[in-house]
Chain A
Amino acid sequence: MNARLKSQLISYSFILPYMLIAVVFAFLPFLIVIMLSFYQGTLLDLNNLKFVGLDNFKKVFMNADLYLSAFYNSLFYAIVIIPVGQITALTLALLIRRKSRTNAIFETVFFSPIIISMTAAGVILAYVLDKMGPLNYLLALFGIPEINWFGDKIMSKLGVGILEIWKGATFYTFIYIAALRNIPADYLDAAKIDGVTWWQEIWHILLPLIKNAILLGVVMTTIFMFQIYDSIYILTGGGPLRGSESIAFLIYRVTLLDDQIGLGAALSILFLLFVLLISFIQMKLLKSETEY
């Protein structure tokens, strides 16, 4: 065995475990979903699936009104959670970007929601937002009428938004802190000598320099926002009247609760195409021509 081949084999052996996992748990299921979208059948008897061609896709478009509300809900989540979450994450990152003992404490505090499980966080928030829960009790003390978080389509979506932002936003804070701390000190020193204000420093120096990190954050959160499922399952169950159901939750309902695996797979494929399109547009819009 020559040295080059040996070196290549060693290199590939390092990525082999990941490749195996990716093939078994990502690529293979992806191919199976594509295949299932052309079949009809039940989860109970996967050996007797019936080939139906494009029937599942036709069904989705013919009964679009049954599925469109999940689509609109997902758009709502994206429009509300992405900007609010990203602005929160950026603000926090800018506030604690310098290394110090106090900021280390804040970093720990901001990191804590990430390590709490979604189930625990959801149960806590469900208790807080309950009609007879502590939040409405507090509001009543100030004479503010109670909020029916789970009986109103908009409020239930906002409840899910609060949970997602609380649980997820600070994750991006750490991505932005890492990017901010990588900016060479010379730039900031030079700016100081030039007498820039704090706002000019943020707007003209810091943000452009971490644009790639922001692009990563926005694209990642967009993909995650269209996939949200667990927070909805725990907090609202998709209700009221499926008013907080996301596309991912709809796919779960159609596939597992209604036992229509072919239809669920077709919805998944259409959903994938949609997310790819959105991500592509975002990358086109945010990609900077200038490299710093």
Chain B
Amino acid sequence: MLKKLGLLMLMCVLVTGVIAGCSSKGDDGSSNQASDGKTDGGKKVKITFWKAPHIKTEKDVWSTIIKKFEAAHPNIQVEFLETPWDGWDQKYTAAFAGSSPPDVSYLSEYFVKFAKNGKLADLGPYFTNEERTKYSQSVMDYLTVDGKVYTMPFLAGTSVVLYNKDLFEKENIEIPTTWDELLEAAKKLTKGPDQWGIGGLDTLNTVAFMGQAGSDLYAGNNKDVSKLGIDSPEGIKGFTYLTELVTKYKVAPSIDYYSKPEQENQAFYDGKIGMYFAQVSFTGTIKTNAPNLNYGAFINPAGPAADSAKQREAYAGIGSLAIAEASKHKDEAWTFIQYVTSPENAKMYLEPAGFFSPMPEANADMYVGDEVMAEAKKTIEGMILWTPNDKFGKLLDIIKMMRESAFRGVKSPEDAIKDAVKEYEAQ
């Protein structure tokens, strides 16, 4: 009888454990993400904030900012979670699809799909017209989905070409300003088995090169996101030029030369790559990993695009902060967003991370005396933002495959583009 009782109790414990495991409640009885504490009655409200890292010291930088914020707002407690980029889309999709999204989240180009599916709070009641005038029209257009604004712009990132000054001096090379000059400089810089003229020709730069030749990413003057605009003579020209840097002229490493992007970064630190196409925020990584590297920056050399505004197209993006529609503390979340996006506080993050503010006035006194960032600042004014697209993740994957198949010589650049367009439009 005792044995039976014991077995029954064991069963109960196991079943209770399974049921408890299925619950999303934390130890304190609150949900583990969007918190359900009380806003009134002087009680401290806890809000959650998720962001993927741009720098190694991400957690420390946010810890400092949050401490200052909490000192100024003693009724709000912010819990920061650094979410890795690897599997980012799935993690955020799962969180927003369920009932436990973060109150505040940092979102890049992916914000559209969350906004379109009603997962983000309309910032209309908070983000006043007066505040909106502080941002350029192109930024506000970019953030507007179906006539509403769901996110608050926080950071602006563009791309430049970083170059190794010692190698340029040794080979007596001038800063290239056109595609032809870029190729010539790259030929001079490519030496022996492991020194390359150019590096960093990634998926995002693939689109930039096609843009420099005059191609739009999307059809209908870049407005119709249901179709791609790269299957054009300009797109083929840009992609062929890029591919030939790798396959014909061999001035950039083949796709398998480095196993991981970190190895390519290391090659630039070690002086094995002369010119490195990179996002401006990469300078923050250089500060940590190669503080003695003697490097400079220049804006992308001009391609043959008929439209002069497109000739030096570079990848540019706006990172913004959003409030979950499911959040029970929208007011407190907005207070936090306002605090961190104000020019004086945003600087605490933007400068160590190597970003600019999307608010032009905030950039005036940033990176004073920094030669590299002065060059990068030039790209902020004319940055070309891609039209928001809720299929952005899929698009990036398709462009990645397109680039890989041409770089490996499996397909001609033209065929690779055609197949990419076909796959995108088959959705």
Q: Which residues of A contact B (CB under 8 A)?
A: 17, 42-46, 59, 62-63, 66, 130-132, 148, 150-151, 239-242, 256-260
- Indicate if B82 sits at the interface (CB-CB under 8 A): no
Q: Could you tell me if A130 and B259 are in contact, using CB atoms closer than 8 angstroms?
A: yes
Q: Which residues of chain A are within 8 angstroms of B394 by Cβ–Cβ distance?
A: 257-259
Q: Could you tell me if A241 and B404 are in contact, using CB atoms closer than 8 angstroms?
A: yes
Instruction: Tell me whether A59 and B97 are in contact in the complex, defined as CB-CB below 8 angstroms, given that A150-B259, A241-B404 are known contacts.
Output: no
Q: Which residues of chain A are within 8 angstroms of B408 by Cβ–Cβ distance?
A: 151, 240-241
Question: A63 contacts which of B11, B93, B397, B426 (Cβ < 8 Å)?
Answer: B426
A37 to chain B minimum Cβ distance, whole angstroms, is 17
For A260, give the chain B residue with the smallest CB separation. B427
- Indicate if B113 sits at the interface (CB-CB under 8 A): yes
Question: B113 contacts which of A44, A63, A150, A260 (Cβ < 8 Å)?
Answer: A44
Q: Which residues of chain A are within 8 angstroms of B263 by Cβ–Cβ distance?
A: 132
The contact string, 1 if C-beta is below 8 Å from chain A, for chain B 400-427, is 0100110010100000000000010011
For A258, give the chain B residue with the smallest CB separation. B394
What CA separation (Å) do A3 and B11 show in the bound complex? 25
Q: Could you tell me if B256 and A148 are in contact, using CB atoms closer than 8 angstroms?
A: yes
Instruction: Tell me whether A241 and B405 are in contact in the complex, defined as CB-CB below 8 angstroms, given that A46-B97, A257-B89 are known contacts.
Output: yes
- Indicate if B315 sits at the interface (CB-CB under 8 A): no
In the A-B complex, the 9 residue pairs with the closest CB atoms: A151-B256, A44-B117, A45-B117, A63-B426, A258-B394, A44-B97, A131-B259, A43-B97, A256-B90
Q: Which residues of chain A are within 8 angstroms of B423 by Cβ–Cβ distance?
A: 66
The contact string, 1 if C-beta is below 8 Å from chain A, for chain B 88-102, is 011001101100000
What CA separation (Å) do A121 and B172 show in the bound complex? 49
- Indicate if B255 sits at the interface (CB-CB under 8 A): yes
Question: A257 contacts which of B96, B393, B427 (Cβ < 8 Å)?
Answer: B393
Interface residue tally on B, bucketed by range: 20 to 34
Instruction: Tell me whether A44 and B401 are in contact in the complex, defined as CB-CB below 8 angstroms, given that A130-B259, A150-B259, A240-B408 are known contacts.
Output: no
Q: List 7 A-B contacts (CB under 8 A).
A: A44-B97, A44-B117, A132-B263, A150-B256, A151-B256, A257-B90, A259-B393
What CA separation (Å) do A42 and B410 show in the bound complex? 33
A43 to chain B minimum Cβ distance, whole angstroms, is 5
What CA separation (Å) do A17 and B393 show in the bound complex? 41
- Indicate if B118 sits at the interface (CB-CB under 8 A): yes
- Number of residue pairs across A and B with beta carbons under 8 Å? 65
What CA separation (Å) do A256 and B88 show in the bound complex? 11
The contact string, 1 if C-beta is below 8 Å from chain A, for chain B 249-271, is 00000011001000100000000
- Indicate if B49 sits at the interface (CB-CB under 8 A): no
What CA separation (Å) do A258 and B119 show in the bound complex? 18
What CA separation (Å) do A66 and B391 show in the bound complex? 18
What CA separation (Å) do A42 and B119 show in the bound complex? 12
- Indicate if B239 sits at the interface (CB-CB under 8 A): no
Q: Could you tell me if B96 and A44 are in contact, using CB atoms closer than 8 angstroms?
A: yes
Q: Which residues of chain A are within 8 angstroms of B119 by Cβ–Cβ distance?
A: 44-45
- Indicate if B179 sits at the interface (CB-CB under 8 A): no
Instruction: Tell me whether A44 and B114 are in contact in the complex, defined as CB-CB below 8 angstroms, given that A132-B259, A148-B256, A257-B397 are known contacts.
Output: yes
B150 to chain A minimum Cβ distance, whole angstroms, is 13
For B410, give the chain A residue with the smallest CB separation. A241
What CA separation (Å) do A42 and B426 show in the bound complex? 16
Q: Which residues of chain A are within 8 angstroms of B117 by Cβ–Cβ distance?
A: 42, 44-45
Q: Which residues of chain B are within 8 angstroms of A259 by Cβ–Cβ distance?
A: 93, 113, 391, 393-394
For A44, give the chain B residue with the smallest CB separation. B117
B3 to chain A minimum Cβ distance, whole angstroms, is 15
Q: Could you tell me if A66 and B259 are in contact, using CB atoms closer than 8 angstroms?
A: no
Q: Which residues of chain A are within 8 angstroms of B259 by Cβ–Cβ distance?
A: 130-132, 150
What CA separation (Å) do A45 and B114 show in the bound complex? 9
Q: Which residues of chain B are within 8 angstroms of A131 by Cβ–Cβ distance?
A: 256, 259
B85 to chain A minimum Cβ distance, whole angstroms, is 14
Q: Which residues of chain B are within 8 angstroms of A66 by Cβ–Cβ distance?
A: 423, 426
A23 to chain B minimum Cβ distance, whole angstroms, is 14
A80 to chain B minimum Cβ distance, whole angstroms, is 22
What CA separation (Å) do A42 and B93 show in the bound complex? 10
Q: Which residues of chain B are within 8 angstroms of A256 by Cβ–Cβ distance?
A: 89-90, 93
For A151, give the chain B residue with the smallest CB separation. B256
Question: A42 contacts which of B94, B113, B255, B401 (Cβ < 8 Å)?
Answer: B113
A257 to chain B minimum Cβ distance, whole angstroms, is 6
Q: Which residues of chain B are within 8 angstroms of A17 by Cβ–Cβ distance?
A: 11, 15
Q: Which residues of chain B are within 8 angstroms of A242 by Cβ–Cβ distance?
A: 401
Instruction: Tell me whether A258 and B256 are in contact in the complex, defined as CB-CB below 8 angstroms, given that A46-B97, A240-B404, A241-B410 are known contacts.
Output: no
What CA separation (Å) do A258 and B424 show in the bound complex? 11
What CA separation (Å) do A242 and B404 show in the bound complex? 10
Q: Which residues of chain B are within 8 angstroms of A260 by Cβ–Cβ distance?
A: 427
Q: Which residues of chain A are within 8 angstroms of B89 by Cβ–Cβ distance?
A: 256-257
Interface centre among A63, A130, A257 (most CB of B within 10 A): A257
For A130, give the chain B residue with the smallest CB separation. B259
For A62, give the chain B residue with the smallest CB separation. B426
8 additional contacts (CB under 8 A) given A45-B118, A256-B93, A260-B427 = A44-B93, A44-B97, A45-B97, A151-B256, A239-B404, A240-B256, A241-B410, A259-B391
What CA separation (Å) do A43 and B243 show in the bound complex? 36
Q: Which residues of chain A are within 8 angstroms of B427 by Cβ–Cβ distance?
A: 258, 260
What CA separation (Å) do A50 and B236 show in the bound complex? 37
The contact string, 1 if C-beta is below 8 Å from chain A, for chain B 9-33, is 0010001000000000000000000
Q: Which residues of chain B are within 8 angstroms of A240 by Cβ–Cβ distance?
A: 255-256, 404, 408
For B257, give the chain A residue with the smallest CB separation. A131
What CA separation (Å) do A46 and B404 show in the bound complex? 34
What CA separation (Å) do A17 and B12 show in the bound complex? 11
What CA separation (Å) do A44 and B427 show in the bound complex? 17
What CA separation (Å) do A66 and B422 show in the bound complex? 10
Q: Which residues of chain B are within 8 angstroms of A63 by Cβ–Cβ distance?
A: 426
Interface centre among A59, A151, A258, A259 (most CB of B within 10 A): A259
What CA separation (Å) do A44 and B97 show in the bound complex? 5
What CA separation (Å) do A209 and B328 show in the bound complex? 66
